[in-house]
């Protein structure tokens, strides 16, 4: 019934203030990891809260008002940015997605949060949803 090789890892929400956004989710009942992570390649600081065995809420906040998340917020306002799915091999899945006609944001996976390699399926290929695929690095 469930695919153990591909599962929802997180829903990322673009925010302009991590503390304010985190409070909303904490008031709902979630607990955030006390350690926030800066991801220089994406120019963001992240905060993660577990929802269940696999899934998280990821708050992503631009560093110094720069980068792709800042541009997203300027264009769309704060809100859901992408959904992330954990896959066994992000490089192989990237190749498969390209072979199946999908446009990827990066030619090859790049470092992401939580010690993962990541890539993104362009929303023009998915009906408007930015999809991240990720694999934990060893």
Q: To the nearest whole number, what is the mean pLDDT of the chain?
A: 95
Whole-number Å distance between alpha carbons of 108 and 118: 9
Domains of the chain by start residue, with CATH = 7-136 (3.10.180.10)
pLDDT at residue 69 above 90?
A: yes
First to last CA, the chain: 28
Predicted confidence band of residue 71 (pLDDT cuts 50, 70, 90): very high
Whole-number Å distance between alpha carbons of 76 and 98: 27
Phi first, then psi, for residue 34 (nearest 5°) are -70, -15
What's the pLDDT tens digit per position in 124-136?
999 999 999 999 9
Predicted confidence band of residue 52 (pLDDT cuts 50, 70, 90): very high
Percent of the chain scored above 70 by pLDDT?
A: 99
Structure tokens of 125?
Answer: 């290929």
Predicted confidence at residue 1, as pLDDT, reads 65
SS3 28: helix
Predicted confidence band of residue 63 (pLDDT cuts 50, 70, 90): very high
pTM of the model: 0.90
């Amino acid at each position: 019934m469930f695919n153990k090789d591909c599962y929802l890892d997180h829903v990322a929400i673009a925010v302009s203030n991590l503390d304010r956004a985190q409070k909303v989710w904490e008031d709902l009942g979630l607990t955030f990891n006390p350690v926030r992570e800066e991801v220089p390649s994406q120019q963001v600081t992240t905060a993660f809260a577990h929802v269940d065995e696999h899934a998280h809420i990821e708050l992503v906040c631009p560093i110094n008002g720069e980068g792709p998340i800042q541009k997203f917020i300027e264009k769309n306002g704060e809100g859901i940015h992408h959904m992330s799915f954990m896959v066994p091999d992000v490089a192989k899945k990237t190749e498969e997605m390209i072979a199946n006609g999908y446009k990827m944001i990066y030619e090859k996976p790049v470092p992401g949060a939580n010690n993962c390699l990541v890539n993104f399926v362009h929303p023009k290929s998915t009906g408007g949803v930015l999809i991240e695929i990720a694999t934990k690095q060893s």
